[in-house]
Structure 1
Amino acid sequence: MTTKVQPSSHETVDRSPPNESPVNLISPRMTIKTPLKILDPGRAKLTTVETKRIISVMDDTIVKVELVTLFSYVMENFEDFSITLGQDLSGALKEHWRLSNHMDAILTRLEKEGLLLKGVGSGSLFAAADESGQLKLHVKGLQSSVRNILRLFYMNPLAGRAVRDAAFARNPNADILIRGLWGIRKFLFEMFLTTPSEEKDKMKFMQDIALRDKKNTEAIAALEDELAAAIQNRDEEISRKNVSIKELKTHLHNLAKFSDNQIQRTRVEAEKQQKGELRGSQARCAKLMQDIQQLKAQLNALIAENRESEFTLRKKKYKVEIEIENWIQKYDIEMIEKQEELEEINVVYKVEKAQLEELREKFAVLDEEFSQIQEERRRKQEEREKAEKELAILARAATLIQALWKGYLVRSMMKSKRRRKSRAKKVRI
């Protein structure tokens, strides 16, 4: 048994409108709205615990019948359901199948021995003269097996859902039974939704409908009289047309005689053409059979070649699988060695990391001192370069002064020489 199907709190009944009467003798409002309101249930869901339990029992019974009617299909296709069913259900179904086969064998034996009562089907298990009580014992065993299987289905809802999905394989008689159970459930559900007062209103409404139906019947009788008169007129018209039809049949008979000769000639020509096409088709069939034999020979050769290549490839595959296993083992050994080496390196790394932290602290102190020294050197270098620049300026100024002084002395000497020469010339004159 799968999960219990509880009635939905929002489940409603069928609200399809009733068929219209032949003659409408009531107002449109009474025809369309009032019947629907009166015939429909007063509520859309069940309110009492008792009614809900009755509907739940009906749903549970329908689910059980759906499962039991599919036992034979499940066993015939056991491989498709074995994974979904599980070990417990598979064992229970196998045991049930064994008991069913044993029961069939017993019934077959009793039928051959004439122990089954005449006029009763062989499926009526209690209709046999069972002196030893073996048949009743097997019946009880089958009943217990069915109850056990349904209990296991209740514990495994997934398996129950998978089995119920195979409803297409159910016996048609079982489908009729299940549809009948669903009809009973629908009837009960609609009945439980209706209160006694609503039932009285419905009965009163139905009596009104019966009275209206009586009036409609009288109207129908009057209409039938009119219909009889119309039929008589129609028969007279038909008799006149029958005379015309006889004349047309005579003309048609003459045409048929003329067409028979034409049809006979056409048939002879068609037979000749059919014989020619038959000879051609026989020749084509012979050629096709020859081609088929050649293709079969080629197919056999290809199959043999493919089998050889498959055998070779299987050998290669086996060899490659062995090599892969060896490589995997080698990989595992190397990975273990690498893991051990990595652990050792991690230990050394931790030690060196601690040393690196100490060196970084020392380096930070030395870096600060080095920065101070570098700053002092830079400052001294700037002072030295400044002094060199000043010295170069002084040297250039001294050189320039010396050059000016030398030029002044040379010019002074040249002036004194000119003066002497000019005096000497004046004296000579």
Structure 2
Amino acid sequence: MKSMATPGKAGVPLGIMKWLDPCQLKPDCTETERILTVLDETIAKLEITRLIPRVIHSLERFSRMLGPEITRSLVEHQKLSMEIQHLLTSPGDEESRKAVEQHLKCSMRNILRLILANPLLYHGLKYEVWVRQSAADVFIKAFMEFRDLTLERLLTSPDEEKQKVQFMKETILQLDKNMGTISALQAELTEAIQTRDEEVNKKDKIIENLKISMENLSKECEAEIQQIMKEGEKQRKLDEEASQIRCAKLEEDVLRLRAKLKAVVQPVTHPGSSSPVQPGLGHCQGSRGSHSCSGHPVPGPAHPPREQFLPNIPSIPALWHWEAIPVSCPPSFSPVPLQLPWSPFRPQKGL
């Protein structure tokens, strides 16, 4: 045998590739081919043996495919199977049971020989007959693995065996290293996810608190606005009532002042004359000690503007009318400026 030390794909030796892929293993001597032939025939017999109970159960369906000879052999094998079951359930002659078992084995060999002699029939039965998964399938699978392992051992040289062992050790070490790296990365990922979740939860709580604060602030603002509106309405009513009271008071003051003004400006008459002295008929000059009168009008002092003394109150329009006051005096009377205790042109308290 040749030592397969030539490197293959990805730095893996060709011998290791052959070991990893059993399909690449091919026999290179007659003894190996004979061993593989025996193993393959055994696998085929195991598969046919697993199918025989199902074929016997549906013999009418598969009789045309099997042919008369195989059909007769299966019928005989069914009879022997029933007989051996009867002998196993009931005590009887041991030699008879052994003889029946020997006949059953010979019948099975004959059936296997007839089916294997026809490869088309063998493959047709494999695809036509459906059998449930059973322990026989597990055994056949294990036997196939044993066949591959045997072929590998037959085609592996001592150098390739050493190389394979070394490759397995390196693979295991690399696998352990990779597992450690994966575990560390998973721990980091878990920590990062946990940190992210904590931050998200913290932000969610902050947002929730802000929403609650905004709602409370909105409610407080609405309550304050309502309170301010109520207080404003109350103050407006109070101001309106106070204004009405002040207007009523001012009207009373106006009426009182008009009464005083009317009492003060009553016309003055002579003792012997019933007509009052018309203003502007005479001119009086003099002082407090000496007075003189003439027939010319005496110009009086200039009246100050009424707006200087009277308030701008629309409710007392009568005070804004300027009326002439008739005054008459005797010839021997020198008029002097009238000194009034109250003047409508001077501001009074309470006006």
TM-score norm. by structure 2 comes to: 0.47
Report the structure number with the largest CA radius of gyration: 2
Specify which structure has the higher proportion of helix. Answer: 1
Higher relative contact order (CA 8 A, sep 6+): 1
